[in-house]
Amino acid sequence: MRSSRQWGWGLGIATVTAVTAFGAASWQANASPGTPSPSSQSLMLPRVSDPSVGPEPAAGTGEDALTSTEVDKARAAALTPQLASGARNAAGEAGPEYLMADLDEDTGRQAELYFYDYKTDKLIKQVVDLETGKLAKSFSAKGMQPPASRREASVAFDLLVADPLGADFKTAYRKAAGKEFAGKEGLTVTAHIYTARPADKGARQCGAKRCVQLIVQTADGHFISVNDLIIDLSGRTVARLT
**Domains parsed from the chain with CATH numbers:** 2-42 (no CATH), 68-142 (3.10.450), 150-240 (3.10.450)
Q: How confident is residue 233, by pLDDT bands cut at 50, 70 and 90?
A: very high
Instruction: For the chain, give the DSSP string.
Output: -HHHHHHHHHHHHHHHHHHHHHHHHHHHHHS-TTSPPPPGGG--PPP----S--PPPSS--TTPPPPHHHHHHHHHHHS-HHHHHH-B-TTS-BSPEEEEEEEEGGGSSEEEEEEEETTTTEEEEEEEETTTTEEEEEEEEES--PPPPHHHHHHHHHHHHHSTTHHHHHHHHHHHHSS----STT-EEEEEE----TT-SS-TTBTTB-EEEEEEE-TTS-EEE-TTEEEETTTTEEEE--
Provide the pLDDT for residue 105. Answer: 74
Percentage of residues in the chain having pLDDT higher than 70? 74
Q: How confident is residue 177, by pLDDT bands cut at 50, 70 and 90?
A: confident
pLDDT of 70 > 50? The answer is yes
For the segment 87-109, the average pLDDT, to the nearest whole number, is 90
Provide the pLDDT for residue 81. Answer: 96
Q: How confident is residue 107, by pLDDT bands cut at 50, 70 and 90?
A: confident
Per-residue pLDDT of 143-159, as tens digits, reads 999 999 999 999 999 99
Per-residue pLDDT of 76-93, as tens digits, reads 999 999 999 999 999 999
Provide the pLDDT for residue 130. Answer: 92
Q: How confident is residue 56, by pLDDT bands cut at 50, 70 and 90?
A: low
